[in-house]
Structure 1
Amino acid sequence: MAEFERSKTFPALPELVFDQVGEVALADRWLPHELHVRPEEPPAVTVHEDRSGEDAAGLFRAEPEQLRVEWGTRDDGRYAGWLQVAGTGSGASEVTVHLSFFDENHAPSEEIVNEALDESLDRLDEQVRLRVTHTGG
């Protein structure tokens, strides 16, 4: 199994950050540019990857009371991930993203995964900052 994790601090309340990740319809705003999520009958989703041109059956579950989102492949169980938002005090939050690839032979390289995690956290940061600016919070 190959596992990867990244964290980033956000200058916003945890609930505000979670509002951006807990809604599957907003996932394209913070996922890497080459991934696109199409909601189906919850918790089912289809994920399209531009690089391969393939669609994958997936799951997406948001747990608002835990400020946590979990996802993974639906049919073959080869991949799973989660994102956790935690308050750090003084109106800030820490977001941690964790990915697990259960077949190391088919896992992307560490460099590719870390770049994708960093891109996702940066895009999420941008979305949160836009929301804070527009709401005056």
Structure 2
Amino acid sequence: MTEFERSRRMPASADHVFDEACDIGRLDLWMPRDLHVQAGEPPAVTVHEDGTGEDARALLRAERDQLRMEWGTRDDDRYAGWLQVAGIADDSSDVTVHLSFFDERHVPPADAVEKALDESLERLAEQVRRGPAGPG
């Protein structure tokens, strides 16, 4: 198994960050640019990957009381991940994103994953700064 993890300070309360991160209609704003999530029958979703042109059946769960979102593939155990928000102060929180790849044949290059995580967290921070009414 190969794992990756990144954290970033966010300029807002934990509740606000969690709401922005878990809004299924706005996931494309902060997730890696080549992944697109389509809602299905909760917790089922479909993830389209531009690079391969393939759709993958996945699960996505958000646990508000834990400020945690978890996801993973449904039909195989290729990967899973989670996002955890932790409150630091009224106007500051930390977000950690963790990815686990269970099949070594499907592990992307480490530098590409780390870059995608950093860029995703930067986009999430910007989304949090703009808020739900901000331009997308």
TM-score (norm: length of structure 2): 0.93
- Tell me which residue corresponds to 1:5: 5
Runs of 4+ in 1 over 3 A off after TM superposition: none
Unaligned runs of 5+ in 2: none
1:33-84 Cα shifts (integer Å, max 9, x gaps): 1110000000000000111111100000000011000000011021000000
* RMSD of aligned residue pairs (Cα, Å): 1.4
Displacement of 1:32 after TM fit? 1.1
Stretches of structure 1 lacking an aligned partner (at least 5 in a row): none
2:62 is the counterpart of 1:62:
yes
Question: Are the equivalent residues in 2 in contact too, given 1:9–1:93 (CA < 8 A)?
Answer: yes
Q: What is the identity percentage for the equivalent residue pairs of Structure 1 and Structure 2? A: 60
Superposition deviation, residue 133 in structure 1: 9.0
Instruction: Report 1:64-83 matches (<5 A).
Output: 64-83=64-83
CA deviations on 1:109-131 (whole Å, 9 max, x unpaired) are 11111011011101101100101
After superposition, what is the alpha-carbon deviation per residue over 1:76-101, rounded to whole angstroms, capped at 9, x for unaligned?
02100000000112521000000000
Q: Is the 8 A contact 2:101 2:107 kept in 1?
A: yes
Counterpart for residue 122 of structure 2 = 122
TM-score, structure 1 normalization: 0.93
Q: Is the 8 A contact 2:20 2:132 kept in 1?
A: no
Alignment CA distance shift 1:132-1:56 (3 Å): closer
User: What letter corresponds to residue 60 of structure 1 in structure 2?
Assistant: L
Matched position secondary structure for 2:33? coil
Give the match for residue 98 of structure 2.
Answer: 98
How many residue pairs get aligned? The number is: 134
SS at match of 1:38: strand
| Aligned 8 A contact 2:4 2:113 in 1 | yes
Supply the distance in 2 between the matched residues of 1:132 and 1:23 (Cα, whole angstroms).
Answer: 10
Q: Is the Cα–Cα contact under 8 Å of residues 6 and 117 in structure 1 kept in the other structure?
A: yes
Pick which of 57-66 and 83-92 moved more.
83-92
**Distance in 1 separating the partners of 2:108 and 2:96:** 20
**Helix, strand or coil at the partner of 2:131:** helix
